[in-house]
Chain A
Amino acid sequence: MIDPSLAALSDNLFTVSVVLYSLAVVAFCAELAFGNRPARSRELVAAGAGAPPAEQPGAGLVDGEPAESPRARRLGAVAMVLTVLGVVSHAAVLVTRGMAADRLPWGNMYEFATAVVLVAVVAYTVLALRAPVLRHIGAFVLGPVVLSMVLIGLFLYASAGPLVAALRSWWLGVHVTTAILGFGIFFVSGIASVLYLLRSRYEQKAAEGQAPSSSLLARLPSAAALDRTAHRTAVFGFPIWTFAVIAGAIWAESAWGRFWGWDPKETWAFIAWVVYAAYLHARTTAGWRGRPSAWVNVVGLTVMVFNLLYVNMVSTGLHSYAGVS
């Protein structure tokens, strides 16, 4: 039933993806190190883009691209190519695993987490291709990605196998796929908010004239652009997450005998949902805009990760399909 050569191929591709992503991180770091300072070109660009709203310094950065040294641009292109190759190999990890076991490749925690990280990298790639300035957060996205992949490989690995009876349902495709999508998108959103928190403090200092312009932070996109990215991705992810929770409840009704029973995984999915709803609200609430709302988004990602790790591995509940022993 399990095809061992395909399963082995999948495992090898996992290693290949980690290597490609690591090389991409190196290239992104080199780009940051050799890049010139977008902070300097900011005024120029903003002036060209019509009247910039006063509360969005540097908003022009997303639309107009800051001047870049050719060397940095070349390094950036190399990094993007490595990332895309990594995505291809990463997707192949899941495809071969699915073929090896003849089922959807997200039936245990190893496969789930691998798919979440894939969605995160794809989300980043799409963002970076649409708004080239966002490419500069590459090192900060792929760094955590490599770390996650290594931890997944070391601690969550489970060999390819058949699904347990409870998971043999059409709803695996609906519920788990959307949960993966939502999680992967929130992953990128959370990173954007962390970078926003760093960058906005840097901009504050820069405004007071006491920030080192050699700082790595000088090369990040503007705080406003980061905040906007975080918000947009969260807006995209929230309905998907809502759908995933609803689909989970519908599945639970036929698998476990009730649609909601405050099982630990359900409870934390609800908590995450509330935190993200609060984030979306905070963004439009006076007094919560900016840094406080970004913190709420970071808490949201923490809750998601906690739900994945703690609830699967420490507590016991009906969602114990992790396959990690």
Chain B
Amino acid sequence: MRTALVLLFLLAVAAIPGSLLPQRSLSQSNVSQYFRDHPTLAPVLDRLFLFGVFSSPWFAAIYLLLFISLIGCVLPRAAEHARNLLSPPPAAPRHLQRLPESTELAAGLPPAATLDVVEEELRVRRFRVVRREGRTGAELSAEKGYLRETGNLLFHLSLLALLLGLAGGKLWGYEGSILVTEGGGFCNSLQQYDTYSAGPLVSQRDLTPLCVDLTDFQAEYEENATAASFTADIGYGLAGAATRNTTIGVNHPLRVDGDRVYVTGHGFSPTFSVTLPDGTAFTDVSAPFLPTDTATMASEGALKLPDLGAGATDQLALQGFFAPTGLLQGSVLVSTDPRPLNPQVAIFVYRGYLGLDSGLPQSVYSLDQTQIDRDRLTKVATANLSVGESTTLDDGTVVTFSGYKEFAALQLSHDPGQGWVLAAAISLLAGLLGMLLVRRERVFARVGPGPDGGGTVLSIGSLTRGSADTGPRFTALTDQVRTALADRADRTSEPDVAAPSARGGAPEKEIPSS
């Protein structure tokens, strides 16, 4: 138990750097920023897995050790508890006065009758009672509150189950994210996602062939521009099967057979039309621009048009800034509202070689800076445009800002462990309540001869687990016993009553009273 606690504590301490340092799992760009800010320190931290604490080998090691030590202490305890449930309460300790609560009462009854009274009081209180013949006289042991230990075991077993569920989810779970513009869609395949993470035991064949199409996305705002709701109308279905329509949104994912589809963000894809000097027109081409400020939805991005002209050096690209509600401050375009009240773009137009087939991966949201640095991609125009406005390039090509579409950031998640974890968490809570609310009480009593040879001395002691406030309860018990003893003594002392009655079903034992 000590080991398990130390390990649990270690797990908590190990989690601290994970919350203070940027983590790759949460934000790759924050990690990159940290590398730029701390060029000497960052590589050292990186070697210690401090930018991926929760998937590091040492975190896993603590987790595994905790798991093993929990098994090591819970299983023997469960066996012992089962034995306890079947066996009677333990024998009374030799010295009752050493128990946390104890007292002695003088009784005017024979020893067996005295214990009868005690037993009756305890049975009324739902104790399990046994009587034994001890070395110094008859004695009684009673116990109640077995549910406490049951709750304790349930708690610790649930903790085990929870750890198992978490681990299972990590091994067989995956999630992928993708930006989908209205009218577009995706199918559940790791290659399609913009980013994904998958457990080591996930193979492409395990992925449900679910396809999702985004028909419409709406963002609603209060008057003060607080986001009120984001909803996406989608069609979905297994590949080849019929498509069904539904609406998903924040707090309302799509759930189908263990897969869930979420809206995790949104943004705008400005659309442009490009007309070449020879009259060839490309209408409404668009690319998602990523929001850089969610309060105003000011966004940045790039639209790459590699297939316009004849050669690889006639490629065109627009890079720039989109403002749903644009305002020119001097010559700088800013956004003042997240709603598309007055969409405007500020773009740089580049012509040349984009380097898309150079073999090096590049971001879809920005141009390849190395091509610009090598003068293979040159800026040919700069323009601030409202919807419908255009700019004409030096060769007569016309670029028109034709409008915008909205895109949704969708995430598909699959975690086979999560139902298991939920069940474990609920039973953990139930066990915790049993463990904390139920008191386990043991009461022991022994009878002996009175000091002057007359009457009986009853010693009672109790041992309670789970409540510090045992004094008043023990006092209440002994007061009841004292009253009951006095009552019984009055009745038995009447001459006509021959033998003490055995109310409460206690076995009668012949103990000579001295």
Contact = CB atoms under 8 A, between A and B. Distances in A.
A315 B19 contact: yes
B12 A254 contact: no
Interface stretch (A10-18, A29-37, A159-167): A159-167
B55 to A, nearest CB: 10
Contact of B411 (A1, A166, A171, A257): A257
Interface in B248-268: 249-253, 260, 262, 264
Interface string B228-261: 1110000000000000000001111100000010
Nearest to A282: B5
B19 A63 contact: no
A280 B210 CA distance: 48
Contacts of B425: 246, 249
A263 B102 CA distance: 52
Given A162-B228, A262-B19, A271 B12 contact: yes
A59 B260 contact: no
Given A274-B11, A275-B12, A165 B229 contact: yes
Nearest to B102: A51
B25 interface: yes
Contacts of A275: 12
A243 interface: yes
Contact of A239 (B20, B222, B436, B468): B436
B96 interface: no
Interface in B146-183: 166, 175
Interface residues of A, number: 52
B42 interface: no
A1 B223 contact: yes
A262 B9 CA distance: 16
A258 B413 contact: yes
Interface in B74-112: 100-103
A132 B224 CA distance: 50
B228 A311 contact: no
B20 A315 contact: yes
A144 interface: no
Contacts of A260: 166
Contact of B8 (A171, A228, A259, A277): A277
Nearest to B166: A260
B498 interface: no
Contacts of B471: 49-50, 53, 59, 63
B429 A257 contact: no
Interface string A267-290: 110110011011001000100000
Given A161-B226, A238-B436, A270 B251 contact: no
A54 B262 CA distance: 61
Contact of B262 (A168, A169, A257): A257
A317 interface: yes
B356 interface: no
B469 A228 contact: yes
A257 to B, nearest CB: 4
A267 B26 contact: no
Q: From DSSP, what is the main secondary structure of chain A's interface residues?
A: helix
B18 interface: yes
A253 B429 contact: no
B355 to A, nearest CB: 33
B226 A253 contact: no
B8 A1 contact: no
A82 to B, nearest CB: 29
A262 B226 contact: no
A261 interface: yes
Contacts of A171: 251
A78 interface: no
B467 to A, nearest CB: 9
Contacts, number: 120
Contacts of B100: 53
Nearest to A273: B12
A263 B436 contact: no
A168 B5 contact: no
A325 to B, nearest CB: 10
Nearest to A296: B9
A231 interface: yes
B9 A278 contact: yes
Contacts of B468: 228, 231-232
Interface in B1-52: 1-2, 5, 8-9, 11-12, 15-16, 18-20, 23, 25-26
B12 A274 contact: yes
A210 B458 CA distance: 43
B260 A255 contact: no
Nearest to A62: B469
B230 A50 contact: no
Contacts of B23: 262
B475 interface: yes
A311 B251 contact: no
B433 interface: yes
Interface string B453-480: 0000000000000001101100100000
Nearest to B8: A274
B432 interface: yes
A311 B175 CA distance: 26
Contacts of B186: none
A51 B249 CA distance: 65
Contacts of A258: 175, 413, 415
Contacts of A246: 425-426, 429
A268 B19 contact: yes
Contacts of A263: 26
A1 B19 contact: no
B433 A51 contact: no
B5 A257 contact: no
A254 B254 CA distance: 9
A246 B421 CA distance: 10
Contacts of A57: none
A1 to B, nearest CB: 7
A303 B224 CA distance: 35
Interface in A218-276: 228, 231-232, 235, 238-239, 242-243, 246, 249-250, 253-264, 267-268, 270-271, 274-275
B147 to A, nearest CB: 15
B425 to A, nearest CB: 5
Closest 8 CB pairs of A and B: A274-B12, A267-B19, A264-B19, A257-B262, A271-B12, A165-B227, A169-B251, A262-B54
Given A258-B175, A263-B26, A274-B11, 12 more contacts: A165-B250, A228-B469, A242-B429, A246-B429, A255-B250, A257-B260, A257-B411, A259-B418, A259-B421, A271-B15, A278-B5, A281-B1
21 contacts: A50-B475, A162-B222, A164-B226, A165-B227, A165-B230, A235-B436, A238-B432, A242-B429, A242-B432, A256-B262, A258-B175, A259-B421, A259-B422, A261-B25, A261-B26, A267-B19, A274-B9, A274-B11, A277-B5, A281-B1, A317-B26
